[in-house]
Structure 1
């Protein structure tokens, strides 16, 4: 047993010395390498290349997938930001339009044309698609002094009258919803005093104009862009409220009467803020002021 133990030790020492010698021999600088070293190096290089190519391919695929995922997420974020930006643009535009409407309404309330009225400011809160050109609903009612048949205007001109008044809301019948049984006494206003009187009796959907039937037949010519205002003769609408301008004049089929096509001064398709004119309240205020004096 001691002989085999010493023999193993001897073989181990010889193997260790040979290994150290080989390591030292391989580490020293040489111009030429042995065939064995070349074979080993080439084999290791080929194996590394075989492993490197698919690993690199798979790594590139994973990297591209990550890039696509990141690009998709960034695109989603950019779309949301773009949508928010567009929404802000629309909101700013609506605020600008609303501000312009309110500014014009304020200027109108301070003008002499409606100084004799008490102007009740109101906002349109609903509009039925089936009656888009017939009526709108506003956020003021009897509790705010609204009564039936009060005239309703915007800064541009007359839009209609109060059809029904509830406690806190009211329905406004638009001029485009008027007919032969619900008319407005109007006149083509002229500075020289020879006004032409008639009635607003309906709305032509094809031309988008009000129908002004001339009831005072004469040799007077009606020109384009002449101003049409309420005459005050009907007892419902006060005189001098702007309705629109003449765009054309057409005779009836017998040539006995003429009808002027009047373009409304106010935009009937987009109404947001209105003023309801109350003459009675203004008259009461004037009486109270006179009594105080």
Structure 2
């Protein structure tokens, strides 16, 4: 039985080989002749083409899928790299803006140095400011080791902002001119009009909604107009005179015309104070 099966296999193999050789022979003759191929040849050719397409189509599909997946992963990796670069550029831009802002503030501080000829200047950076007393005080990174003492005047980028209220070795607290607390020491200020006439008073309060300094209960009849400069008066001996505070915004008469209230636009934005200068009197 086994021999019979072996003989059949051998016969099938011989037939397949003969058919294959015949197809190749007739194909070569057909290519060299102008005669139309015989029907069996056309059938064999069609079957061969169909088998080839059946075999190669899945292979091509797998290859195309692999290429598509490879391209997708490449695009994903490139997208990740681009996102990292965008984040780095954004961080660099923020840092640059902060440095530019600080640079402008320092340049303004240099102009202040030239106006305080009788004082030596110690520049400091603001290192802390509590939201609960934002308009009352701030902390700077200079202290007694830099020569700072209590009640020394502190200037911002454009004008006076307050004075030293507490000093440690390496830091100090600054009481702001905008402090509305009951325990705050009121600043003595002076308005000078175009005729060089002056009106003295104290800071009554700071209007946070309008961002204005309020100088109230003025009994002087001296003419004051919007735009007149406001400086420290030096009265009381705590704060030196002549430190720029701001300019008059408007003057409001009281109901009976006995007193006036002067609203002043400060020279400094109290919500944005990155650096300060402390005026130390020269001995």
TM range (shorter): 0.7 to 0.9
Distance verdict in 2 for CA 1:52–1:132, change over 3 Å: farther
Q: Could you tell me which residue of structure 2 aligns to residue 160 of structure 1?
A: 162
Distance verdict in 2 for CA 1:83–1:57, change over 3 Å: same
Supply the distance in 1 between the matched residues of 2:42 and 2:256 (Cα, whole angstroms).
Answer: 117
Q: Could you tell me which residue of structure 2 aligns to residue 212 of structure 1?
A: 215
Among candidates 110, 128, 131, match of residue 129 of structure 1: 131
- Kindly state the Cα deviation for residue 53 of structure 1 after the two structures are TM-superposed: 4.3
- Does residue 46 in structure 1 map to residue 46 in structure 2? no
Equivalent runs, 1:71-82 vs 2, <5 Å? 71-82=75-86
**RMSD of aligned Cα (Å):** 2.7
Supply the distance in 2 between the matched residues of 1:24 and 1:59 (Cα, whole angstroms).
Answer: 34
Segments of structure 2 that go 5 or more residues without pairing to the other structure are 1-10
Q: Structure 1 length as normaliser, TM-score?
A: 0.80
- Does residue 245 in structure 1 map to residue 263 in structure 2? no
Aligned to 1:100, what secondary structure does the other structure show? helix
What's the CA shift string for 1:214-247, capped at 9, x where partnerless? 53331x3322122111000132111001111112
Supply the distance in 1 between the matched residues of 2:254 and 2:223 (Cα, whole angstroms).
Answer: 16
- Kindly state the Cα deviation for residue 255 of structure 1 after the two structures are TM-superposed: 4.6
- Kindly state the Cα deviation for residue 59 of structure 1 after the two structures are TM-superposed: 3.9
- Does residue 202 in structure 1 map to residue 205 in structure 2? yes
Aligned to 1:177, what secondary structure does the other structure show? coil
Among candidates 263, 269, 272, match of residue 271 of structure 2: 269
Does the 8 A contact of 1:179 with 1:201 survive in 2? no
Equivalent runs, 1:12-27 vs 2, <5 Å? 22=22, 23-27=24-28
- Kindly state the Cα deviation for residue 20 of structure 1 after the two structures are TM-superposed: 9.8
Supply the distance in 1 between the matched residues of 2:127 and 2:50 (Cα, whole angstroms).
Answer: 80
Supply the distance in 2 between the matched residues of 1:228 and 1:20 (Cα, whole angstroms).
Answer: 111
Q: Could you tell me which residue of structure 1 aligns to residue 193 of structure 2?
A: 190
- Does residue 114 in structure 1 map to residue 110 in structure 2? no
- Does residue 235 in structure 1 map to residue 241 in structure 2? no
Does the 8 A contact of 1:187 with 1:196 survive in 2? yes
Distance verdict in 2 for CA 1:209–1:20, change over 3 Å: closer
Segments of structure 1 that go 5 or more residues without pairing to the other structure are 1-10, 285-293
Does the 8 A contact of 1:214 with 1:257 survive in 2? yes
Does the 8 A contact of 2:218 with 2:261 survive in 1? no
Does the 8 A contact of 1:230 with 1:238 survive in 2? yes
Distance verdict in 2 for CA 1:231–1:130, change over 3 Å: same
Aligned to 1:183, what secondary structure does the other structure show? coil
Q: Structure 2 length as normaliser, TM-score?
A: 0.83
Among candidates 90, 94, 97, match of residue 90 of structure 1: 94
- Kindly state the Cα deviation for residue 191 of structure 1 after the two structures are TM-superposed: 4.6
Supply the distance in 1 between the matched residues of 2:77 and 2:66 (Cα, whole angstroms).
Answer: 17
Supply the distance in 1 between the matched residues of 2:28 and 2:271 (Cα, whole angstroms).
Answer: 94
